[in-house]
Amino acid sequence: MKKLKTLLFFLFILSAFNFQAQSKKTSFIVNGMCEMCKERIESTLDVKGVTFASWSEQTHLCNVTFNSNKISEKEIHQLLASKGHDTPVCRATDEAYNNLHHCCHYVRKDSL
């Protein structure tokens, strides 16, 4: 019985370390202009695997906490680009950018 308790204890500890390793934090610039952009960016990141997302209208910095076993950082950038917001990793298509409300049209750079 003591061996079983010891084994269960070690399995619990290993699972706790595994959970810790899965949770990652990142911060990156997401182009946007207004409160509508903030709502769109944050709601776009309301997906399985993302546990926290916050975008600042003033700094354009997006802070994200995510489970790397469920979603990759590149997939996060791709989601935002699909909604019209350029990031340092992914550029939105012209179609996605043009579908943004006119007040959301930020100045785009020629390249990432």
pLDDT, residue 2, reads 67
Query: Which domains occur in the chain, in start order?
Result: 23-104 (3.30.70.100)
8 Å CB contact between 36 and 103: yes
Residue type, 19: F
23-58: pLDDT as tens digits: 999 999 999 999 999 999 999 999 999 999 999 999
Statement: residue 16 has pLDDT above 80: no
Q: For the whole model, what pTM was predicted?
A: 0.80
8 Å CB contact between 32 and 85: yes
Which of 46, 80, 37 minimizes the C-alpha distance to 65?
46
Statement: residue 7 has pLDDT above 50: no
Which of 34, 39, 31 minimizes the C-alpha distance to 103?
34
Other C-beta atoms closer than 10 Å to the C-beta of 17 total: 9
